[in-house]
Amino acid sequence: MKFGFQVMLRGAASSGDGLSSIAKSGEDFGFDIIAPNDHLIVPGGIESTYPYTDDGIWPGASVVECHDQLTAMAFIAGHTDTIRLLTSVMVVPYRQPVLTAKTIATADVLSQGRVILGCGVGWMSEEMEAIGTEPFQERGKVTDEYIRVFKELWTSDEPSYSGEYVKFADVLFKPQPLQKPHPPIWIGGESKAALRRVARLGDGWFPAANNPKFTISNPKDFRNEIVNFVLRARANNNGKNPSWLSYEKLRVVIEKKMFSNTEDLLPVISFNAKASKEDQKKHNDFVVRMVERGYTEKQVRLLSEWYLRVRKSQ
């Protein structure tokens, strides 16, 4: 397990001395990740609902200053040696994607491969309007396209792209990120749309635990979200197991953390109508135990079927 901490790019601790001191201390204490947040301006009269408080009010509205996240990330990189640099999250629609891809690639090269790109769609329409982004209502589509642009620029020798929001061809993009094929992309958000984005475009899921609409603030909620994440990932891949690395890591987590002894459980979790009464009783007892741990019976059945297919394919 790795541990990280977030830093707010506003307030007294966000000075150069403050950020460098926090980053160095975190590295010295053994933290693995430091994660700066992302806002560019603070509009007056914010009416957008902040998704991470019960009353929908953004606590940061009272502090009008904020540093640019990517510039601050580069600053932190220059004052540290080993700690990973996670954008937490970068609001993807805020910035022109080709320039953003260059900034992140540069940071990854100069930090010797320490960047992790946390990506989100954003929630504040007033900020996007002031920046001059694509329409707020289209931020999901914009985010998907911009992430595809990042990947194209970071991995292709002769990158080109023709989409709804971005078009380019006959360009060279060097140097590409040090990490191959590119810095890990963690998709933020807790909604169904966010989970679909993880399955399509992400290398990992980066949820927050304090969204009142999508609570995952305890082990039961988290287990349920993991199961749903697995099922949605398969659903978005035509019922097949996605090949991306984070999905394989998730399989290991489920196998080793959720099931105490997988070999003993194999005859128990299988749904075989011809099973002996003894095996059927073991299976029923297994379902009861899993429901007590927070699953639904449907989740147990689907997860077990998925797990058996994964093992059979290996």
Tokens 């059927």 locate to 280
52 and 196 fall within a common domain? yes
**Quick one: pLDDT at residue 222?**
64
Neighbouring-strand partners of residue 119: 90, 187
Residue 188 sits in the same domain as residue 276: no
Q: How far apart are CA 179 and CA 113, in angstroms?
A: 5
Q: Print the domain residue range for 43.
A: 4-217
Whether the Cβ atoms of residue 205 and residue 229 lie closer than 8 Å to each other: yes
| Total structural domains within the chain | 2
d(CA 267, CA 259) in angstroms, rounded, equals: 13
Residues 72 and 184 in one domain: yes
CATH code of residue 108: 3.20.20.30
Q: Are residues 73 and 106 in the same domain?
A: yes
What is the SS3 assignment for 225? helix
Say if residues 109 and 175 touch (Cβ distance below 8 Å): yes
Q: 290: Cβ–Cβ under 8 A, 6 or more apart, which residues? A: 300
C-alpha 139/C-alpha 251 separation (Å) is: 31
Q: Are 196 and 131 part of one and the same domain?
A: yes
Whether residues 54 and 161 share a domain: the answer is yes
CA dist 111 and 81 (Å) reads 8
Instruction: Write out the two tokens for 184.
Output: 């890990």
The DSSP 8-state label assigned to residue 92 in this structure reads G
Residues 31 and 169 in one domain: yes
CA gap 50, 59 in Å, rounded: 9
Residue that finishes a domain, picked among 185, 217, 249: 217
Write down which residue in 178, 198, 217 finishes a domain: 217
Q: Select from 35, 40, 166 the least CA-distant residue to 91.
A: 40
98/69 Cα distance (integer angstroms):
17
Strand segments (E) across the chain? 4-7, 33-36, 84-86, 90-91, 115-120, 161-162, 167-168, 185-188, 204-206
DSSP at 153: H
Q: What is the mean pLDDT of each run of 10 residues along the chain (314 residues)?
A: 93 94 97 97 94 92 92 98 98 98 98 98 98 98 98 98 98 97 95 86 88 71 65 65 53 52 54 71 78 73 66 55
Place of tokens 């059945």: 301
Q: What pLDDT shows up at residue 174? A: 97
Provide the token pair at 44. Answer: 């007056």
User: pTM of this prediction?
Assistant: 0.75
Query: Is 213 in the same domain as 230?
Result: no
Clarify whether residues 136 and 78 are in a common domain. Answer: yes
- What is the predicted pLDDT for the residue at 248? 53
